[in-house]
Amino acid sequence: MKYLVTIYGNQAKWDAFPPEEWPTAIAKQEAFNNRYRETGELIGAYGLADAAAAQLVRRAEGLPVVTDGPYLETKEYIASFYLLDCESLERAQQIAADMPFADVEPVELWPILHESPANAADV
């Protein structure tokens, strides 16, 4: 079963993080990524740009209409997301709990109920 794991953040949180600690934090995250990539359970890990770079896209009269900023009126936004492929919900929970910072920030875990691969031959 596949799962989406999300980590939330906000600009105040990132600004408060000591700059000299970023290399260690990134190294811990890469170690996590490598560990579960090697087991085949991590399909992908993606860090997102700052919320200021987000755009909202709608369609009007068949054309895209783009506005700046995320849609939700919230201070927190999705900072990173991961795709897991695990044998069980319990295993996905173990991996999510192993995420660096999971001891200080919650990690959201969503079962993926439907998949439509980009290449149907991959199914």
Q: Would you state the pLDDT for residue 121?
A: 66
Q: In the chain, what are the domain boundaries? A: 2-114
Instruction: Give dist(CA 48, CA 70) in Å, integer.
Output: 12
E strand residue ranges, the chain = 2-9, 42-47, 55-60, 63-68, 77-85, 108-111
| pTM more than 0.75 | yes
Under CATH, what is the fold of the domain 2-114? Alpha-Beta Plaits (3.30.70)
pLDDT the model gives residue 123: 55
Quote the CA–CA distance of 81 and 107 in Å, as a whole number. 10
Q: Are strands 2-9 and 77-85 parallel, antiparallel or unpaired?
A: antiparallel
Q: Strand, coil or helix: what is 50? A: coil
E strands along 19-70, which residues?
A: 42-47, 55-60, 63-68
Quote the CA–CA distance of 66 and 48 in Å, as a whole number: 19
φ, ψ for residue 46 (rounded to 5)?
-135, 120
pLDDT tens for the chain, 123 residues: list them: 999 999 888 778 888 889 999 999 999 999 999 999 999 999 999 988 877 788 878 899 999 988 886 666 666 788 899 999 999 999 999 999 999 988 888 899 999 998 887 776 655
Measured CA to CA, the distance from residue 45 to residue 55 in angstroms comes to: 21
* pLDDT at site 93: 96
